[in-house]
Structure formats: structure tokens, C-alpha cells
Chain A
Amino acid sequence: MTGAAPIEVRGLGKRYGEILAVDDVDLTVESGDVFGYLGPNGAGKTTSLRMMLGLIRPSAGSVRLFGRDPQLSVAALEGVAGFVEAPCFYPYLSGRTNLELCAALDGPDDGAPARIEEVLEIVGLRDRATDKVGGYSHGMRQRLGIASALLRQPRLLILDEPTTGLDPGGMRDMRQLVRDLAARGITVLLSSHLLAEVEELCNRVAIVRRGRVAYEGSLAELRRAAGLSYRLRTTDDERARRVLAAQSGIAEVSDLSNGGLVFKAAGEGAVAELSLALVESGALVLELIPRQATLEDLFFQLTEDGATATPDDVAAKIAQVPV
């Protein structure tokens, strides 16, 4: 099944009694993506990831990893590695022994012993490899989780909030590691509730809220859809307000508390014409600054109300974001 997308999820749902933890999720992760699965805690991210890894049976829909169904056989996990929630190991075995166990479960492979040393080196656990995992810190377990995933030489890496619980240094190292792996051509699906993290690492995102995907697409597109607003300060704001009201392609004019106005423009042309009109009216421009709607705003907008959104819907929503 070459050519099939690393992850193809269609109509995925999971019901626990009355609660729909995951509701009709569609997403496609293409080869080479660093895909951010973004949502607040409790949005059903981990449950989705567990279904993708074959740990949980979906109540509805399907998962295909490189075209294969992880519900049918663990063979679908060939070339796939990762972890959900905090990676867990046998506390009474050493870090290295745990990796040896994982390698043994991956099937016979003469290259495994050398690779164990290699991955221990990559995650910086070589010095503590003979210590029992029971004595490891959370960060070390997290790194051992990455090591055990890399051991499988994955083409697709599924990581559930890999930086959660790490100190700032650990978070930086983890993000650098994800970047390095992506640079090596590994497709990554990364769940996170941290927008900055996804913004830093991912080229595409799905934003989930209450089990549903509220947005799926590229970050650039999301940003573009978020649109531009402008901040204007002039020598005479009263006059400027009248000019703005009369000008075509200008909307949603409002006052800023610290003086000045804010508005949305249909395009740069409209802004250029506006500047000329302002000067002609006698309101001289002191500041005319484009303001990018932050993804933070967008994220809250998408996760707090509204259902599935297209980029156009998102643009409409952004219009409501207070600036």
C-alpha cells in the first residue's frame, strides 16, 4: 500500500455511555507533515490518538495508517511509533532493559542492540541507562518514550503532548528533537494544548474542541483567514472616523481605549485609498499599522464556540474577535 497517506481518519467517533469523547473526526496527515493536533485538555485528543494506535476500538468511523487498519492487526503499526499520555515503562527494569524489551517486541532484528545505544545517545540517557526506570524523573521517562519510538525507525511518529510536564529546558530540547526528526523526513502527528508549540513546530493543524474538529488546514491559511486589522492614529480622530465611514472597503471601525481607531480593510488597495482620503480631509496620519489577529485569539474563538469551520468561516469569526 505505497502512496497511502500516513494517517487517514474518517468519521472517527468514540462513545463512552452518554458521552461522545470523539465525534466524527476527519483528518489526513500527508507524508512529511508535522501535523499539530491542537485542543484544550479534555477535547478528546488522547482518545483519538489511542484509536489511531489501535489501543481503543472506535465506536464509529475508521483509521488508516499508510492504508492499513490498526484494528485488524498490529501490522498496521509497521513504520509507526509513538506514545499516548506519559510513556510508561516497567519501573523494576533499567532503561536499557526496557528498550531491549521493546526491541524484542518489534521482532527479530540484528541491528537492535546497536540502535538501542544510538537512541539512548540521541535522547541523552546513556549515563542513566542501567538505572531502574522507577527512579527516573518525568522528563527522563518522556525521553525514554522518544527513544523507544525511535527504535522502530518510524516513518510516522505519533506524540501525545510530548512537552507536557517538562521544565523549560526539557521543552526546548524536546521541540528541537521533533524539528530534527521532521528534518530527517519523519512525518509527525503531535497533539498539544499549547498553541505556541504548534505554531513553532507544525505546518498543518487540526483544532479540536469537545471531540470535534473545528478547523483543519495549514497554519498559513489559518493566519491568512484570520485577516488583517489596522490601527490608525491621526491628528484628528473625529474627522478620521467620518472619512472611514465614507470609504469603501473599510469596516468595523471602533475606538481604542488609549486613543486611535481600529478597523478592518478588504485589502491593501482600500488602505492606500484611505490614506489619501485622510490627508485630503485634513486628518494627518500619525500611525497606520497592520495588526495580525493572533492565533491565540483564533484558538479561543474556535474552541469556545462554533462548530466545524472552513477558512471562510474562520475569517467571519475573526471579525468578532475583539482587537
Chain B
Amino acid sequence: MAGVLTIYRWELRKLRAQKRTYLGLGAAAVIPLIFVVALVTQGGEPHDVPFGRYVHQTGLAIPLVLLLFGLLWMFPLITALVAGDIVAAEDRHDTLKTILTRSAERQQIFAAKTLAAASYAILAIVITGAVALIAGILASGFNPITSLSGTRVSASHGLGLVGASLLAYLLPILAVASIAVFLSTVLRNSGAAIVGTLMFSLLLQLFDILPGLHGLHPYLLSTQFNAWQGFLRTPVDWAPVVRAIWVCALYALPALAAAALVFLRRDVAGE
């Protein structure tokens, strides 16, 4: 019997052999670079964005500003690019019958695929964070940063807070990945799953600005994309982070459970 870990490694190997993987990871690396190059060459700074006015003072502000920008579409798109394809690709190539007639149970294959999609999303965030930090520090220096509460935070402490923020940002991204896996499993078509995931993200942002839905606000997935800002207060405000953990789980786990159920029970028939 094959183990989940073995299947997971092969899922990663399949991702490494596909162009779309590099498209997403390339975007994750290039976008912060473009941002930093634009800051250096054009001067000026993003207005009306928290930390926007610090981008020339400290490189630590760069990843934080990017997280605020990336919220709208970039990370959900990069995540959905692979997570939305992870099951549908098997339908596209008609390879489910190939892997399901070996010695791996369906639940193992599903688990491995979910882990691979999550790993990719994590890697994309890590790449964006690392590139933004390195390029930002090269451009604006490794200097102390002013927190949202107005307190100055030393550079090394600030670096830790940026790392924690990236981790917190992962929570809603993993929920988006779960929804993409669900759509990939149900729709069996990667294009539809990717677009569907983006539509879902945009819809939630629409809820965000609709009047009369303020009560829902703390429980929207889009709100959780801002939870990391809790780390940038002095003292650290854990409430939004803790809420992000369970709210994101409430989005991710039912999606994954439903996807698993569909995957375990589906007929693997030809077109």
C-alpha cells in the first residue's frame, strides 16, 4: 500500500513539471520586484494605505503594503491557479483511472492533492514575502518601523512581526485554496474552478462594501485577509488573529469535507 507522503511527493513532482506552477510562483516573485523598482525609480509613495508612508524609510514596510494590495486578487489568483487544477487536471488527462487502479486509496490521493495545493499556496506567500523583504531592505534599509498604534518598533522585532503577519495571511489563503480544491473536484474543469474561486473571492468583497451587512463583516473571509494587522499593533491585538483561525477553518473544512465526499464516491467514467 502506498503512503500519503509518497503520493504527496509525486503530486509535488507533477506540479514541478507543469508550466502553470511557474507562472504562479513567477508572479509571486516578480510582483514585489516590480513594486520595489517602481518605488525606487518613480519616488513617491502609496497614499491611503497603512504603512504606505514608511516605504522609503524601511524595507519592512514593503511586504506589508504588498499584503494590502495582494488581498484583492493576486494571491487568490495564484492560489487558485494550482489548487483549482489539482483534481481537474486528472480529469483533463483522464489519468484518474490510471492512479486509482494502483494501490492507493481515493482518500489518500485526495489528502495528498490537498496537501500539495496547500504547499504551493504557502510557497507562493513565502516567495512574495522573501522577495519583498530582501528587495525592500536593499532599497529602503533595515530600519525600525512604526506600528499601527504609532509606537516605534525595532527593525529585528519588526522582522518578526512581518513574519507573523505573513503566517496570519496564510489562513485566508488556505481557505481560498480549499474552496478551489472543492470547485476543482466538483466541476472537473480547471478553468471553471479557477474562475469560480476568483468569483467567490470577489463576491465576498462585494459583501464587504454592501450596506446593511455590517453584522456579517467579522465573519467574511475577506475580513480575515486583514487579520495580520493585529500583529502590527502595540501590544499585539490577538483578537482578529484568533478569529481568523476559526473563521477560516469554517470556510475551509466544510469545502474540503464536501470535496472529499464527492471524490470518494464519484464514478470515474470516460467522457
Stretch at the interface among B92-100, B143-151, B222-230, B236-244: B92-100
| A74-B106, A108-B6 given; 5 more Cβ-contact pairs under 8 Å | A56-B268, A74-B104, A82-B101, A92-B17, A106-B103
Give, as a whole number of angstroms, the nearest-CB distance from A88 to chain B. 4
Q: Is A206 an interface residue (CB 8 A)?
A: no
Chain B residues near A87 (CB-CB < 8 A): 98
Chain A residues near B97 (CB-CB < 8 A): 50, 53, 55, 83-85, 88
Give, as a whole number of angstroms, the nearest-CB distance from A225 to chain B. 35
Chain A residues near B268 (CB-CB < 8 A): 50, 55-56
- CB–CB B101/A104 < 8 A: no
Chain A residues near B265 (CB-CB < 8 A): 57
Listed A/B pairs (25) with beta-carbon separation below 8 Å: A50-B267, A54-B101, A55-B96, A55-B97, A55-B101, A55-B267, A57-B267, A73-B105, A74-B102, A74-B104, A74-B106, A78-B103, A83-B98, A85-B97, A88-B93, A88-B97, A89-B98, A90-B14, A90-B95, A92-B14, A93-B17, A101-B14, A104-B10, A105-B10, A152-B102
Chain B residues near A75 (CB-CB < 8 A): 1, 103
A74, A75, A77, A107 — which one has the most chain B CB atoms within 10 A of its CB?
Answer: A74
Q: Which of A46, A53, A88, A105 makes the CB contact (< 8 A) with B104?
A: A105
Q: Is B180 an interface residue (CB 8 A)?
A: no
Chain B residues near A277 (CB-CB < 8 A): none
- Give the top 5 A-B pairs by smallest Cβ distance, nearest first: A105-B102, A55-B268, A88-B94, A56-B267, A105-B104
Q: Find the A residue at minimum CB distance from B270.
A: A85
- CB–CB B267/A104 < 8 A: no
Bound complex: CA A105 to CA B10 (Å): 9
User: Known: A74-B100, A105-B103, A107-B1. Contact between A47 and B94, CB under 8 A?
Assistant: no
- CB–CB B269/A106 < 8 A: no
User: Known: A104-B10, A105-B10. Contact between A55 and B100, CB under 8 A?
Assistant: yes
- CB–CB A55/B269 < 8 A: yes
Bound complex: CA A57 to CA B99 (Å): 17
- CB–CB A74/B105 < 8 A: yes
Q: Is B18 an interface residue (CB 8 A)?
A: yes
Q: Find the A residue at minimum CB distance from B101.
A: A53
- CB–CB B1/A54 < 8 A: no
- CB–CB A102/B98 < 8 A: yes
- CB–CB B101/A77 < 8 A: yes
Chain B residues near A53 (CB-CB < 8 A): 97, 100-101
Q: Find the A residue at minimum CB distance from B109.
A: A105
Q: Is A186 an interface residue (CB 8 A)?
A: no
Q: Is B2 an interface residue (CB 8 A)?
A: yes
Chain A residues near B101 (CB-CB < 8 A): 53-55, 77, 81-83
Bound complex: CA A50 to CA B266 (Å): 12
Q: Which of A26-84 contact B (CB under 8 A)?
A: 46-47, 50, 53-57, 73-75, 77-78, 81-84
Q: Which of A79-131 contact B (CB under 8 A)?
A: 81-85, 87-93, 97, 101-102, 104-108
How many A-B residue contacts, CB cutoff 8 Å?
97
Bound complex: CA A53 to CA B7 (Å): 20
Bound complex: CA A89 to CA B93 (Å): 7
Binding site for A on B (CB under 8 A): 1-3, 6-7, 9-10, 13-14, 17-18, 93-106, 265, 267-270
Chain B residues near A55 (CB-CB < 8 A): 96-97, 100-101, 267-269
Chain A residues near B102 (CB-CB < 8 A): 74, 77, 102, 105-106, 152
Q: Is A148 an interface residue (CB 8 A)?
A: yes
Chain B residues near A56 (CB-CB < 8 A): 267-269
Q: Which of B7, B18, B103, B270 makes the CB contact (< 8 A) with A46?
A: B270
Bound complex: CA A50 to CA B97 (Å): 9
Chain A residues near B106 (CB-CB < 8 A): 74
Give, as a whole number of angstroms, the nearest-CB distance from B46 to chain A. 40
- CB–CB A77/B93 < 8 A: no
- CB–CB A105/B270 < 8 A: no
- CB–CB A104/B7 < 8 A: yes
User: Known: A54-B100, A73-B105, A107-B103. Contact between A88 and B95, CB under 8 A?
Assistant: yes
Bound complex: CA A24 to CA B109 (Å): 32
- CB–CB A105/B14 < 8 A: no
- CB–CB B93/A91 < 8 A: yes
User: Known: A56-B269, A57-B265, A85-B270. Contact between A90 and B93, CB under 8 A?
Assistant: yes
Bound complex: CA A200 to CA B3 (Å): 41
Q: Find the A residue at minimum CB distance from B18.
A: A92
Bound complex: CA A87 to CA B98 (Å): 7
- CB–CB B7/A105 < 8 A: yes
Bound complex: CA A92 to CA B95 (Å): 12
- CB–CB A104/B14 < 8 A: no
A46, A83, A105 — which one has the most chain B CB atoms within 10 A of its CB?
Answer: A105
